[in-house]
Structure 1
Amino acid sequence: MRKDENTRQHIIIKSAELFNQKGYAGSSIQDIIEATGLTKGGIYRRFSNKDEIAVEAFEYAGQVLMEQLSSAINNADTAIDKIMAVCNVHIDPVNNPPIKGGCPLLNTAVESDDTFPILRDRALAAYEEMLSLVQGILKHGIAVEEFRSDVDVDSLSSFIVSSLEGSVMASRLSRDSKHVGFVMQQLRVLLNTYIKI
């Protein structure tokens, strides 16, 4: 990687952490300068504005999270274990989040609104990717006859992702990661009701 590309990647990584902790609206170009150790010119030689940095930083954070999820899934055998592995990536969002500052999907989804439609669209795409990941696990579970064929994949995957993201929010808000554990416990009970006998 060339030095200019390395510097650009450095800005993206540091900005992803910054935005994930302080939010996009709460972070200034000066914050990016301080986080990266670069000058204003060093930032603007590589990005035209903060919006461009935010979009690339979110994409980077999403890639990091998806790599962690893929790794966790690949180390699990059954569909239930794979769903639990997805949840387990978020097991300690207070002290050990998958990315510094918490779940980038949750943080960006909460902050994004009509004032930054591009970032909102990226957050929506990331949410749909997460749903698709869970749907794929459930469909595979049906195909290999781990789950019954009458599982409503769309409904169940939405419930799983919504429950997980809600538990991450509750854990970060209360500064107690037990909420993710509670959701995992209840999801395992629920998923066991769909096991094909």
Structure 2
Amino acid sequence: MSKAERTKAYIIERAAPVFNTKGYSGTSMSDIVQATQLTKGAIYGNFTGKDEVAIEVYKYNFGALRKRIANAMLAETTAQARLKAYTNYYRTNWQQVQERGGCPLLNAAVEADDNVAFMRKNVQASARQWIKDIRTVIQAGIDSGEFRADLDAQQMATSVCMMLEGGMMFFKIMDDRTLLFHALDRIDRMVTQEMMR
């Protein structure tokens, strides 16, 4: 990795929690300077401006969360256990997720809808990827005979993702983790009751 690549990665890593906590429109160049302890010139030397930093930070935040969840799921051998690992990740890491500012997909989606339209394509791509990750697990369960053959893997995966993101939203806005846990319980019931043969 070149010095320029290392500097760029450093800026992204240091700015990531700021953007996820303060928001993409709420984070200023001064916030990025403070988080990185670099000059504005150093930041502009690596990025065209705040919008480019925001996009790269979003990709970093979402990618890091996706990787942590994927690692938890891949440690399991059955589709049911993988989906339970997905919900268990949030049960055991809800405080860390909150301390990091919440779900990066949810945070960016809310802003990309109205305030930061330049991020919309990236957020849509992430949402599609998230659903695809879950759909792949559900389809593997269908193919192996673990889940019902008549399941619509796409519909179920979309429902799982929507319930999780809705639970995250209510948890964050109401500052009540039981609201997230209600969503996780509902997903678990889908997996253990509705999807099983």
TM-score, length of structure 1 as denominator length: 0.92
Matched to 1:48, the amino acid is T
Report if aligned partners of 1:69, 1:86 keep a CA contact under 8 Å in 2.
yes
| Counterpart Cα distance in 1 of 2:27 and 2:144 | 47
Report if aligned partners of 1:33, 1:40 keep a CA contact under 8 Å in 2.
yes
2:76 matched residue in structure 1: 76
| RMSD, aligned CA | 1.8
Q: What pairs up with 1:74-113 in 2 under 5 angstroms?
A: 74-91=74-91, 95-97=95-97, 100-113=100-113
1:64 matched residue in structure 2: 64
> Which segment is superposed worse, 92-101 or 60-69?
92-101
> Which segment is superposed worse, 179-188 or 124-133?
179-188
> Which segment is superposed worse, 90-99 or 146-155?
90-99
Q: Which runs of 5+ in 2 are unaligned?
A: none
Q: What pairs up with 1:30-179 in 2 under 5 angstroms?
A: 30-91=30-91, 95-97=95-97, 100-113=100-113, 116-179=116-179
Helix, strand or coil: the match of 2:52?
Answer: helix
Matched to 1:10, the amino acid is Y
1:187 matched residue in structure 2: 187
Q: Give 1:95 shift.
A: 2.1
For 1:160-193, what per-residue CA distance to the aligned partner results, in whole angstroms no more than 9, with x for missing partners?
A: 0000011111111122222222222222222222
| Counterpart Cα distance in 2 of 1:128 and 1:137 | 14
Matched to 1:55, the amino acid is I
Equivalences, count: 196
| Counterpart Cα distance in 1 of 2:172 and 2:178 | 10
For 1:79-132, what per-residue CA distance to the aligned partner results, in whole angstroms no more than 9, with x for missing partners?
A: 122112222333367521188111110100011135543311100000000000
Displaced runs of 4 or more, over 4 A: none
Are the structure 2 counterparts of residues 25 and 42 from structure 1 closer, same or farther at C-alpha, using a change threshold of 3 Å?
same
Helix, strand or coil: the match of 2:97?
Answer: coil
Q: Which runs of 5+ in 1 are unaligned?
A: none
2:8 matched residue in structure 1: 8
Identity of aligned pairs, percent? 32
Q: Give 1:25 shift.
A: 0.8
| Counterpart Cα distance in 2 of 1:19 and 1:63 | 15
| Counterpart Cα distance in 2 of 1:160 and 1:30 | 38
> Which segment is superposed worse, 140-149 or 69-78?
69-78
